[in-house]
Structure formats: C-alpha cells, structure tokens
Structure 1
C-alpha cells in the first residue's frame, strides 16, 4: 500500500513585503534625523561662532596692542617700541639727570632775579699770604664731624656775604652746579713751596665773580654766601687740600692766616 504525502508550498510573497517594510522604516528614520539636524543647526552654528571668536582673541599676536577710546576719539595703536623696561640703576640715573636739570633751571631763574651789591674792590683784611675767606661768621660743623664724612668747616653767614680768596692763585673750578657743593669755586695755590687747593661751596646762584683759568689775588672777592647744592642754610663750606691730601681748614687758617 502506497501512501502519498502531500507537500504544501507557501507562496513566496512575504520576503518582498518584509524588504519593502524595512526600506520604509529606514526612510522614515532618515527623514526624522534630517529634521532633527536641521532644527539643531542654528544653535550649533551659534556655539561654533562663539568658540571661533574666543579662539581668534586667544591667537592674537603678542606684540599687537590697542587702546579703548571715546566714541569721538581716534583709535591709536601701541607697539613695544613706545616703551622700554628699565633697571633700578637706569631709573636712579634718570632721576639724577632730572634733578640736575631742575637745579640748572632754578639756577638760571635765580641768577636773573637775585642781585647782591658787592664791591669788587673790597679786600679781605690782613697782610699775610693767607687770609680768612669770610670776615664775619659763626663756626658750626667742624672738620671730621658726621662720622668723619665732613671734610671741611661750615661758616654760617647771611646770604650775599662776600667770600674772599684765601690765597693768591688760579681758579680751577667755577660752576653753578658742582656736585653736592652746588655753586662752588676751587682755587689752586702754591704757598711756601706746597701745592694747596681751596674750595668754597654752597654759594648763591649767579654770584660768582671769577671764571676757571682766571688768576686771583689773596683776599679778592670771588663770590658770596648762599645755600645751594646739598645745603639746608646759608653758609660757606670751606675745604683745604695740601699736596693732594685733605686737611683741617680751621687748623690751616689758624696756622697761616694773617
């Protein structure tokens, strides 16, 4: 007995339908993704623009500088050539130069406004080869005071008091700004075979009566008392050097003036 088995074959229509369904799903996803991207693009672009602006500022050239000015003013560009760093020594030198310029300005101003009636024919009293540089004074600081830093004597007298050459000689320095001495004069002498140099400091501006290289006589008027340079009161600061060495002026005058 022969038994026959029937084989049932399903129609081949499901596979194409499934593929079509997958294509439609993929298209839908693509469409949704496109809409989301389009909606997010403006915000994303804003973020990029903001980041890009910050990056440009950070990448600015180091040497480029700018100044914020009022709306009606003109912008100006600064470069490193417009300024320079200075050391403490350079700053100190600059301040010293400015101070010297100010002293010179005051010197010129004072010289034109201050006038002292000094008789140039006056001669310091005495008959010796050495005489006192002032005829009336008050002795204050002496030689070697201030811890040994004071190299002369201070003779206090009113501004404009005549100053006399302590001995005959040749003027070496005649200056309106001689270091801390202010208005000062120095004279070279030869006394009893010894080389002597005398210094007359802190005189009044515009009061010098001799110039460098001029020959002077003992007791001759050379200037007048003042308070210039490193000084706090009207006085004559007087120094003496013998053979290049600094000596006590008071002892020298007491031993030689007559």
Structure 2
C-alpha cells in the first residue's frame, strides 16, 4: 500500500515551483521566524530525510523556526509522507518510510536515529512533539526555484543546511548562500566544504557521516548563538 501511494503519478509539475508558493512566502514572518533553507534535489544522498527527522528536535527548543526545502525529484512524495507520518504520530509508518528511503545504504542515519530513541524510550515523546509543532506547516516543500528567486530567499533567511551523506562535486549553491550573507552548515561530504581554506566567512562543518542528532544540534547552536549575539538579517 505504501509503495503504491508513494509511486502514484503526481498531480503537479515536478520541475515547477508549487502553485501556492506565493501564499507560503507571504505567510512566513520574516522578521521574527528563524528560516532554515535546504536547496537541492529531494534525494536521500542530500540528507533531506535527516533534516526532516532533526526538525522536531529543533522546533522543540526554537518553535519559531521555519524550514524551507527548495528543489525537486521523482520521490518528493516520500519525504512529504515522512513529515505527515511524524505529525500524526504514526511511528510504524515513520520507520517504514525511513527504511524504504535508506534501503541498500551503508550509512543509515535515519534508522540509527530512530533506533537510538527507541532504546532510550523517548521515541513516543519525539512523535508527540512532532505533532504538537504541526511539522508539515513548519517544514515546507516549495518545488524548484531559479537562481534569481533563490537569491531572494537566501537574502532574508538565517541558515543554509546541506546535510549531504554521499560525496558531492563542488556545490555552487553554498557559494550562493555565502554571497547572500547566509550562514551555511554543511557536511564534509558536501563539495563546497573545500571553500573553508579561502572563505572569509564562518562556516560550520559536520563530519561526512553526520548523524541526525548532530544536524539538529548544529542548527540549534547557530540559531541560539545568532539570537544571543543579536545577529539579524539585513
């Protein structure tokens, strides 16, 4: 049943921005909310599922955070289904989706994250929090944007996150984020990690095999640090 639902033809154009994107952007409180941006293809190798799983942890501490996932793929529905399963406290479905996404992967960050919570007896608390924060309203998929539109989003956001799991070539999107004054959090697997040698901007680097917990902790650290320092978007 899950496979059938997730592989049904979409009722939208995958390579076009969502039709309600203008309303979504308008409803974000750009002054008071902390906006975390993911920009890239919606695939496991980019670590998108790790960011989704990390989101409830971040929102538990900073409920005014908003996540924007900008991109496209043929499996977008799987990632959206994960946010819905978390928000409706369907633990078994969360596990099933994560296992399907990570099938065949050597490094299963999502599965390890869930198993750790189960062993500690906190998985149900985690699901309850995901429901309380209404995750689908806090973790928004926009569809793809062109570079001009993306630059506008970067300019008014707080953090850029690229929790890549698989090694990548140089990621120009991180340079675009830096050029917009956006603080990046990237793993060593992300190609743009190479910029650390010459970049005058502070950048947080996570290990290539960053865990979901380390992703959430890094986002929290930067959100709280920026709040304490009084840093604001220009």
Normalised TM-score (structure 2): 0.26
Normalised TM-score (structure 1): 0.24
- Whichever structure has more helix as a proportion of its residues is 2
Which gives a bigger RCO, structure 1 or 2 (Cα 8 Å, sep 6+)?
2
